[in-house]
Chain A
């Protein structure tokens, strides 16, 4: 079983610094929710679609391109059961899954807390209409599978340069 290897002639994506990977991971995870938030804000205004469109596509593009970059960098190293990973890579993968769980738990708790404050504190009803449900479903469907890869890309240290 050969451990997954980043080769010396690897692409620029494979040589991304941890700082850049963290920026890409954060932007990728926030792009899609930001697009839905932007669309929701724009829906309540009379701003022309010429303003709405480019920003919307840019935010979708950030998530799309970012996820491609992250998947290219990770190369299935965040997958379970992780055949072909060595012990350090498995340990890092497990840490990424733990971080994913922590992020997911924090997001769920924050969402519930915001909803509770909105409903109980301000008496503002939350309408579970098709728009909201499709936004949640698309965000969860796209971002949840991406979360471990994004977490792994964010925590993996910069590799040693010498081969």
Chain B
């Protein structure tokens, strides 16, 4: 029985949880906006479900971001690290 439920596709990493938190959205609100069940948002955030291309594009459209900014085959760097690095670079450039 477990064989069916076993994951066979590769893990798709995503930034859904961060984006949702940034915008102060509940899973239910995001689910309603994307036309899916709120549990599906939870499974997506935990990388336990890979979205279809259609759902990935709808998600990107909803957040106004390119799809690769939300979903990636490789783990994302921490947003805080990226933000801090870019801030540090800007400070250095400004002297």
Contact = CB atoms under 8 A, between A and B. Distances in A.
Q: How large is the interface on A (under 10, 10 to 19, 20 to 34, 35 or more residues)?
A: 20 to 34
B14 to A, nearest CB: 14
A6 B39 CA distance: 8
Interface of B is mostly: helix
B4 A88 contact: no
A5 B31 CA distance: 10
Contacts of A5: 37-39
Q: How large is the interface on B (under 10, 10 to 19, 20 to 34, 35 or more residues)?
A: 20 to 34
B94 interface: no
Contacts of B40: 3, 86-89
Interface stretch (A52-60, A118-126, A131-139, A155-163): A155-163
Contact of A22 (B1, B31, B35, B51): B1
A127 interface: no
B31 A3 contact: yes
Contacts of B51: 87
A28 B26 CA distance: 36
Interface in B51-95: 51-52, 54-55
Nearest to A5: B37
B49 A88 contact: yes
Contact of A163 (B1, B4, B26): B26
A159 B1 contact: no
Interface of B: 1, 4-5, 26-28, 31, 35-43, 45-46, 48-49, 51-52, 54-55
